[in-house]
Chains A and B, each alone.
Chain A
Amino acid sequence: MADQKKGKISRVAGPVVTAEGISPRMYDVVLVGELKLMGEVIKLVGNKTVIQVYEDTSGIRPGEEVVDTGAPLQVELGPGLLSSVYDGVQRPLPVLRDKQGDFVSRGVTAPGLDRKTKWKFTPTVKKGAALEGGAVLGEIPEGNIVHKVLLPPKAKGKLKNISEGEFTIEDTIGELDNGTKIQLMQRWPVRQSRPYVDKLLPDIPLVTGQRVLDMLFPLAKGGTAAIPGGFGTGKTVTSQQLSKWSDAQIVIYVGCGERGNEMTEVLTSFPELEDPKTGKPLMGRTVLVANTSNMPVAAREASVYTGITIAEYYRDMGYDVSLMADSTSRWAEAMREISSRLEEMPGEEGYPAYLAARLSEFYERCGRVKTLSGNIGSISVIGAVSPSGGDFSEPVTQNTLRIVKVFWALDSKLRERRHFPAINWLTSYSLYSPILEDWYRKNISEDWNAVRLWAMETLQKESELQEIVQLVGSDALPEEQRLTLEVARMIREFFLQQSAYHPVDTYSPLKRQYEYMSAIRKFSEHAKKAVSLEVPLEKIVSLPCRSDLGKLKFEEAIDQDLKKVSAEIEKQFAGLGV
């Protein structure tokens, strides 16, 4: 860290410290007080520097020293990120525990990447190659993937030499002819997005295995989604399901202001999970950033940036990354808290006026891109929003909805009914469906979209009919409409409800989703014919194939069962004379 400058503290008010005698740049990292607490410059006024400190400032007094490190908050990027568990400023939590025990105390630094581990590096470029920033230099096996070693984005030149072998992240593995030494590790400032060549159309779905999401409200690779929901609507379980099952190679989970005990569940459940694709531990492709609600507020504010920067690094290798930010509301609250400590003029509901700008900056860092090395990589961001009092009109939710393309509306009414995932099929939406149509047609089935539309229509009709039923009861409806209600009930209870805890039901491949919905549709079509032939509805709904459709999702042999039941539908309706 070049050019250290020293100054003195003149004021301490909670996490906001004012110093004099240094002239740093905005967002430079400074070390505060005798304990050398980490902080970041957030305001310059006259000769005063205002610093937000990432740790508790109790006992810090005016007159203590402040050191400007001359560099902004940055993360270390290199092999060893996967399987790591970090706090909001990339300090590895297991290392902190070894150093200082069960409670996080202050002034402890620990580098993000381990300095001693040796990595087996195999170059994929030859001496003399002319290299641009972001070029792939070679490969390292890391966790469940191949870690591509990249030339830092700003470096450029002819490769003077490069070596194969086992290296630590600080060893020199090669050199450019301009004298630039190359290491396995590079640093990047978290508040700045990493460069790429081009943004591409997000026309491939991110498959999650969650039926309501994939079938009705799909997210594209490189897309953005928001999961709002008051507390207790199952947001956390849904986001964990996504991390576990989505078909991104890399999963970044940012627990921003999370509950300690729930973070523990993530921290203990992830290492136990098997990656369905490789059979290896899921942690081998996961990075966890955990900043619980009682950890310092400034580090909570930084945690989201730490996460997205790591995501960009793996994107640049050509991977599909999914980043879960849980919750962006806690992040916004951290901004609000710091802003109010700075006595800034508040915007709506006390949030800073720059809330919308910060949110959109963050979401803009995702997308499917052509990387500097010519590969294609993506970052899909799923941001959890926790509107206060379940009120969607509050600023964080509203500003988020203006940006994201998918809205998975968690609903407390559904939760009360134990309809899980409690995603409301009437208020949710996905703007990616039209872009993704081609992909489904080519990869799953020609009539995927027809099946999807049929399901949506049936659910929509149900909600209209429900209003009448509320007034007059379902017996007053004609048979055909009562059938619609029955079919919609099947879609809801059989298809949309999915148990995260059931070993079979927890993940449903696209093909199976399609077959399942098609079977329900088949039932519906036969039933419609039956109704037109004046078969009583009671007889139709008590057909064994109807209840079999509901039960089969818990069976090991579900795919065979689906075929059997599908055949049964025809047989049993034939029995009714259809």
Chain B
Amino acid sequence: MGMAKEYHTISQIAGPLVFVERTEPVGYGELVTIALPDGSTKRGQVLDTSDEIVVVQVFEGTGGIDRGSGVKFLGETIKMPVSRDMLGRILSGSGEPLDKGPPIIPEKRLEIIGSAINPWARDNPREFIQTGISSIDGMNTLVRGQKLPIFSGSGLPHNDIALQIARQAKVIGKKEEFAVVFGAMGITSEEAQYFMKDFERTGALKRAVVFLNLADDPAIERLLTPRLALTTAEYLAFDLDMHVLVIWTDVTNYSEALRQIGAAREEVPARRGYPGYMYTDLASMYERAGRIKGKKGSITQFPILSMPGDDITHPIPDLTGYITEGQIVASRELHRKGIFPPIAVERSLSRLMGQGIGAGHTREDHRAVSDQLYASYAEGRDLRGLVAIVGKEALSERDRKFLDFADAFEDRFVRQSKDEDRTIDQTLDLGWELLSALPVDSLTKIDRKIIEKYHPKQKK
């Protein structure tokens, strides 16, 4: 890297930003170190560079920096060391070891920004991941290479859902190297403990790389954490052929940090004060999921996002929904009913489901069963509104069956225990069992042939 010149020409410090004057030409996005009067160093990145002034965003916060602090521009953009030995390690939100283990000896140093995968190089994600959770496997199927966030709210058990998926997720009939990369941004240490304990209990930690930026860590560091996690994931997946599941939480905390930077730069805000480039910024991370032709590994992302005020139209879930391939929505209503996992099937969606189900993937009747469950559940839910007005007695026999079906669907199909790992066959058979309580002629989403083959009461 050579000797970088140190500048003592700070002209302004505002929020997380430091403005430096009279520098040699500095590259956009360059890594910066700032030497504080107390002898410590902070790191930052160039956000805007010109002949007159260079704007630096400081990851660890600007506390303690004065006008005389020494600023060095390191001549390169932010890179991180990666190695197989990162598995089993716990690192800080900016990549420093937190577990008292040795420093990472790099096999490679990689740019954390990452380039876009050439769409032509991408391989179609179509391998079914069995999570063992019926409301996901049966209704919102996850495939390898997908990015499927949980849209949740405060007080809902999204962490338990994520952990159950991390424990149970597998591709049937395949034994391949897998890894979990966990990126925490601004979660409480209690939540972090909860994750770590579960990783340790199940032995998953050995196969995991953990990045922790906790609630009291600098907010700006949160902009780094997911990128470190994803760069690590790319290395494990595309250099070391592993199937990597990336869980990152909480996207909302990340977006808050982004807004903070935007405000500090006095940028023109878009919706609700979030910067206009938030869509592109989020996309630059979500899109680092997928498969590449000719490579064995894959990256599947499972981001957790808590919707402020349970509002799915808030800019964070809204923009996320346009980038990710669907979403699993947690339901407060089901949670109140005591149903775990409280997954609002009717509001959830997996856009890649069609590619990962059916003969050769799951079972030939999967699409039909799931469509029929969706439609019948929707009909039953509609009737609940009617019952509230006219009472159950006023319903026709047929309608009453649908009403009961909706209850049974929530109680038996959606509800399962935290360690219940259902196979896809169990899930689909359960679906048929519930559907068989409905009149056969109301099963309009299912081909005659499929009914004759699978319907418990119509089998030929």
A93→B386 CA distance, assembly (Å): 54
Cβ–Cβ contact A232 & B349, under 8 A? yes
- A294–B287 contact, CB under 8 A? yes
Q: Does A390 contact B (CB under 8 A)?
A: yes
In whole angstroms, what is the CA distance A226 to B238 when docked? 39
Decide if the interface of chain B is mainly helix, strand, loop or mixed.
mixed
Contact of A349 among B271, B290, B326, B372 (CB under 8 A): B271
B159 contacts which chain A residues (CB < 8 A)?
none
Residues from 26 to 77 in A contacting B, C-beta threshold 8 Å:
56-64
B277 and A231: CB pair below 8 A?
no
- Measured CB to CB, the closest approach of chain A to B382, in angstroms, equals 9
Q: Does B453 contact A (CB under 8 A)?
A: no
Whether A11 and B51, one on each chain, are in contact in the complex, defined by CB atoms closer than 8 angstroms, is yes
Min C-beta distance of B75 to chain A, whole Å: 9
Q: How far is the CB of B24 from chain A (nearest CB, A)?
A: 9
Considering the chains assembled together, what is the distance between the CA atoms of A101 and B239 in angstroms? 13
Instruction: Flag A270-298 by CB within 8 Å of B: 1 or 0 each.
Output: 00000000000000000000101111010
Cβ-based interface call for A143 (8 A): no
**What's the minimum C-beta distance from A21 to chain B, rounded to whole angstroms?**
12
Stretch of B88-96, B220-228, B350-358 contacting A (4+ beta carbons < 8 Å): B350-358
Q: Which residues of A contact B26 (CB under 8 A)?
A: 61-62
A124 within 8 A of B: no
**Smallest Cβ distance from B149 to chain A, in angstroms?**
12
Contact A337:B313 (CB < 8 A) given known A57-B29, A231-B321, A416-B374: no
Give the CA-CA distance A18 to B28 in the complex, in Å.
13
CB proximity of A489 to chain B, nearest CB, Å: 10
Asked if B425 lies at the interface with its beta carbon under 8 angstroms from chain A, I say: no
| Closest chain B residue to A258, Cβ basis | B119
Contact with A along B285-319 (1 / 0, CB 8 A): 01111101101000000000000000011110011
- B354 pairs with A297, CB closer than 8 A: no
B145 touches A62 (CB 8 A): no
A551 to B323, CA, bound (A): 37
**Is B394 among interface residues, defined by CB-CB distance under 8 A?**
yes
On whether the beta carbons of B28 and A102 are closer than 8 Å, the reply is no
CA distance A73 to B367 in the complex (A): 46
Known: A259-B287, A473-B395, A554-B447. A232 touches B375 (CB 8 A): no
Choose one: B47, B312, B352, B444; the contact of A261 (CB below 8 Å).
B352
Q: A267-B119, A294-B283 are in contact. Are A493 and B444 (CB under 8 A)?
A: yes
A-B contact count (CB 8 A): 233
Tell whether B404 is near chain A: CB-to-CB under 8 Å. Answer: no
B123 pairs with A417, CB closer than 8 A: no
Which of the candidate stretches B110-118, B168-176, B194-202, B407-415 sits at the interface with the other chain? B110-118
Contact residues in B for A434 (Cβ distance below 8 Å) = none
Asked whether A94 lies within 8 Å of B120 as measured between CB atoms, the reply is yes
Task: Give CA–CA (A97, B290) in the complex, Å.
Answer: 16
A503→B146 CA distance, assembly (Å): 26
Whole-angstrom CA separation of A10 from B447 in the bound complex: 66
Residue B378 at the chain A interface, CB threshold 8 Å: yes
User: In the bound complex, do residue A337 and residue B347 qualify as a contact, i.e. CB atoms below 8 Å apart?
Assistant: no
A268 within 8 A of partner (CB): yes
Total residues of chain B contacting the partner, CB 8 A: 90
Instruction: For B28, give its contact among A57, A230, A349, A474 (CB under 8 Å).
Output: A57
A345–chain B nearest beta-carbon distance, Å: 8
Q: How far is the CB of B406 from chain A (nearest CB, A)?
A: 13
B6 cross-chain contacts in A, Cβ below 8 A = none
Interface size, chain A (Cβ < 8 Å):
81
With a CB–CB cut-off of 8 A, which chain A residues contact B375? Answer: 417-419
* Given A346-B268, A547-B441, A13-B47 contact (CB < 8 Å): yes
A103 to B270, CA, bound (A): 30
Asked whether A557 is an interface residue with its Cβ less than 8 Å from the other chain, the reply is: no
Considering only residues 347-390 of chain B, those with a C-beta below 8 Å from chain A are: 347, 349, 351-352, 354-355, 367, 371-372, 374-375, 378-379, 385-386, 389-390
B260 at the interface (CB under 8 A from A): no
Interface readout for A455-482 with B: 1 if CB under 8 Å, 0 if not?
0000000000000001111110000000
Taking a contact as CB atoms under 8 Å apart, the answer to whether A265 and B124 are in contact is yes
With a cutoff of 8 Å between Cβ atoms, the chain B residues found around residue A575 in the complex are: none
Complex contact A501–B271 (CB within 8 A): no
Q: Is A260 a contact partner of B122 (Cβ separation < 8 A)? A: yes
Q: What is the CA–CA distance of A90 and B111 in the complex, to the nearest angstrom? A: 27
CA–CA, A417 and B445, complex, Å: 11
Contact call A13/B48, Cβ cutoff below 8 A: yes
Chain A residues within an 8 Å CB radius of B40: none
Q: Are B395 and A14 in contact (CB under 8 A)?
A: no
CB of A189 to closest CB in B, whole Å = 25
- Contact (Cβ within 8 A) A11 B48: yes
Question: Do B48 and A297 touch (CB < 8 A)?
Answer: no
The one of A58, A97, A293 that contacts B29, using a Cβ cutoff of 8 Å: A58
Does A263 lie at the interface of the complex (its beta carbon under 8 Å from any beta carbon of B)?
yes
Complex Cα gap A533–B448 (Å) = 33
Contact with A along B304-343 (1 / 0, CB 8 A): 0000000011110011011111110000000000000000
- For the complex formed, measure the closest distance between the CB of A428 and the CB atoms of chain B, giving whole angstroms: 21
Instruction: State the CA gap A473–B389 with chains docked (Å).
Output: 10
Return the chain A residue nearest B75 by Cβ: A59
A211 to B116, CA, bound (A): 38
Tell whether, in the assembled complex, residue B116 and residue A292 are in contact, meaning their CB atoms are under 8 Å apart: yes
Smallest CB separation, B436 vs chain A (Å): 18
A224 proximity list for chain B (CB < 8 A): none
Q: Does A340 contact B (CB under 8 A)?
A: yes
Say yes or no: A337-B276 contact (C-beta < 8 A), given A294-B287, A550-B444: yes
A63 touches B349 (CB 8 A): no
How long is the Cα–Cα vector from A53 to B51 in the complex, in angstroms? Answer: 19
Contact B371 A62 (CB under 8 A): no
Q: Are A14 and B125 in contact (CB under 8 A)?
A: no
Are B115 and A388 in contact, CB atoms less than 8 angstroms apart?
no
Closest to B370 in A: A418
CB proximity of B377 to chain A, nearest CB, Å: 9
A473 to B279, CA, bound (A): 45
Contact A267 B25 (CB under 8 A): no
Known: A85-B120, A337-B277. A232 touches B323 (CB 8 A): no
B124: which A residues are within 8 A, CB to CB? 261, 264-265, 268
Q: CB of B280 within 8 A of chain A?
A: yes
B49 touches A62 (CB 8 A): yes
Within 8 A of A (CB), among B30-51: 30, 47-51
A58-B77, A501-B367 known; A102 vs B121 contact (CB < 8 Å): yes
Please state if A260 and B290 are interface contacts (CB–CB under 8 Å): yes
Q: In the complex, which of the residues B270, B286, B390 contacts A340, with contact meaning CB atoms closer than 8 Å?
A: B270
Are A343 and B118 interface neighbours, CB within 8 A?
A: no
CB nearest neighbor in A for B389:
A471
Are A473 and B386 touching (Cβ within 8 A)?
A: yes
Nearest CB to that of A13 among chain B residues?
A: B48
Which B residue's beta carbon lies closest to that of A102? B121
- Let me know if B76 is at the binding interface, CB within 8 A: yes
Q: Are A417 and B290 in contact (CB under 8 A)?
A: no
A264 proximity list for chain B (CB < 8 A): 119, 122-125, 290
Chain B 118-152 near chain A by CB (<8 Å), digits 1 or 0: 11111111000000000000000000011100000
Q: Is A236 an interface residue (CB 8 A)?
A: yes
In the complex where A57-B29, A294-B287, A389-B313 touch, is A62 in contact with B51 (Cβ < 8 A)? yes
Distance, CA A56 to CA B47, complexed state (A): 13
Nearest to B441 among chain A residues (CB) is A547
B27, CB-defined interface residue at 8 Å:
yes
Q: Smallest distance from the beta carbon of B4 to chain A beta carbons, Å?
A: 14
Known contacts: A12-B28, A97-B121, A389-B318. The answer to whether A293 contacts B270 by CB under 8 A is no
Chain A to chain B contacts (Cβ below 8 Å), 30 pairs: A11-B48, A57-B28, A58-B29, A62-B49, A62-B51, A97-B121, A102-B121, A102-B293, A236-B351, A257-B283, A260-B116, A261-B122, A261-B125, A261-B147, A263-B122, A265-B355, A267-B119, A290-B119, A292-B116, A292-B283, A297-B280, A336-B270, A350-B269, A388-B271, A418-B372, A418-B374, A418-B378, A473-B394, A473-B395, A475-B396
| 5 interchain residue pairs of minimum CB distance | A389-B313, A11-B50, A293-B283, A58-B29, A294-B287
Please give 6 more A-B residue pairs, beta carbons under 8 A apart, in addition to A58-B27, A102-B121, A501-B354: A59-B30, A231-B321, A232-B327, A349-B270, A416-B346, A547-B441
